[in-house]
Structure 1
């Protein structure tokens, strides 16, 4: 069987274990930077993927992250951040990982070969969902089975792989190819391949958040503050956007139940119910809500 590029030996591999620490680290850093270059050629596909994700959440669909091993960990990390960063409800994000999500440091390798498990896991999918399937080699049986079953059930699939011509792309509505070079430690795709995957996933979900109106001037206004750190961050955002002091911003946040967007409108003079109604009219877009508020007067 032909080995994927991620299994090839890196030019720096020979004698790597005989080098001093700083030299090894230099090779590792250079490889990470090289892997990131693979992301730049996939920007159109990443943009298309972000649009699919936003459309799913604007309707009744869900985002479903799926994968095995290191690739799954990259995918799961992205999915778990969507609530805190963009206020995406937890029930709109599903996490499918071969063998289940780890509860300790054990992560069996054989589970990635279980295509039947992937098919069974996909039984929860429905039309309108968007599956983000991630596999470095592009041919991991679990990820392939989830992607194939997803399309059969009417869901759309975003396939992310680090191999040109990956089998995963046969089952993808949007194919994101990240052709990273060989790993410094052959086959350790948690390194360069994982870095490229993480960057692509971050970019996809961030552009999705922008399309959903959850970002305003680089601030995560979809945030709902539920701890001291986030309350401080939220108050700063409200104060900055509404041009009020932080005491008034904090009061508006309390009235807005910790949600930044209604708190901004409250700080601008809207009653809480009116703020929520205005955001509903603008489909949650704060900039549009502020413009409409300014036009109609406070």
Structure 2
């Protein structure tokens, strides 16, 4: 593979590296005034995301299509984007019951970079290729490269290598016509403009990235049958709060009393979907699981007209 050189476009031409003169004297502002200013800036982020919705929808369709084939959703980022990626990916197993390897993140510098900045890691294109190879990325997978600037060498190399291997590729950046967009099949550009502290892309850019990743993972999981309506029916009830939530979900769907819902869940090892099917259809847990397997885990398809 031929690595792309670090793009020549100067950082000063990137909107995320720009200076907003309205905030040139923030160190002289009162706390109240600065809080109001930050809040006003943050309020514009959802609108910026909205302008990118067509591209986001196209990307989500690609995720759904590959995951239906048994593929994985893999995020790649450096620094703040990498940490945001880990945050989103790590919430998929408890929320949607996914295997930890079905949605995961690769961060430049490895796990240590989650806590401590690894200087130079974002420039290491070779390390990105090694990471993609180590993850055995293939044609059923989707790789999402995330870089505020849209030009981070680690992310660019990861996306290029993933595309060479046949994976679907998504590039999420916060500038226009970025190198990341150029190498991605599904480019997403969310333009939030200069940060209140020039270049601090953990702020608006990071917020925009989290909003987009929320949609990529959540909407894909809904489409794959990981919810029933807006109920978290694949929740892993690993603590008291989540067990109580599981009881409420079962009680809501089946219309049984919470006490009966809890007893049924205990028999099923607090697996929500089989419990609902067993109660709603009057079948054993083994039969309930078989129903779910025949319908690809989609509870709505199993219940049919029973709701």
TM-score normalised per structure 2 = 0.92
Note if 1:289 corresponds to 2:281. Answer: no
Quote the residue 1:130 is aligned against. Answer: 142
Quote the residue 1:89 is aligned against. Answer: 99
Note if 1:280 corresponds to 2:297. Answer: no
Q: Is the 8 A contact 1:256 1:262 kept in 2?
A: yes
Shift of 1:51: 2.2
Map of 1:174-213 to 2, 5 A cutoff? 174-213=186-225
Q: Is the 8 A contact 1:35 1:181 kept in 2?
A: no
Note if 1:30 corresponds to 2:43. Answer: no
Unmatched runs of 5 consecutive residues or more in structure 1: none
| Counterpart Cα distance in 1 of 2:227 and 2:104 | 23
Map of 1:228-267 to 2, 5 A cutoff? 228-267=240-279
| Counterpart Cα distance in 2 of 1:281 and 1:22 | 58
TM-score normalised per structure 1 = 0.94
| Counterpart Cα distance in 2 of 1:161 and 1:147 | 13
Between stretches 215-224 and 203-212, larger displacement belongs to 215-224
The one of 79, 90, 99 equivalent to 2:109 is 99
Quote the residue 2:168 is aligned against. Answer: 156
Q: Is the 8 A contact 2:77 2:147 kept in 1?
A: yes
Note if 1:111 corresponds to 2:115. Answer: no
| Aligned Cα root-mean-square deviation (Å) | 1.6
Equivalenced residue count is: 294
Note if 1:215 corresponds to 2:227. Answer: yes
Shift of 1:132: 1.2
Q: Is the 8 A contact 1:34 1:181 kept in 2?
A: no
Report Cα offsets for 1:143-174 as digits up to 9, x if no partner: 00000000011111111000110111122121
Shift of 1:103: 6.8
Quote the residue 1:270 is aligned against. Answer: 283
| Counterpart Cα distance in 2 of 1:255 and 1:157 | 42
| Counterpart Cα distance in 2 of 1:63 and 1:289 | 26
Between stretches 128-137 and 31-40, larger displacement belongs to 31-40
Between stretches 266-275 and 103-112, larger displacement belongs to 103-112
After superposition, the Cα gap between the structure-2 partners of 1:243 and 1:201, relative to the gap in structure 1 and judged at 3 Å, is same
After superposition, the Cα gap between the structure-2 partners of 1:121 and 1:104, relative to the gap in structure 1 and judged at 3 Å, is closer
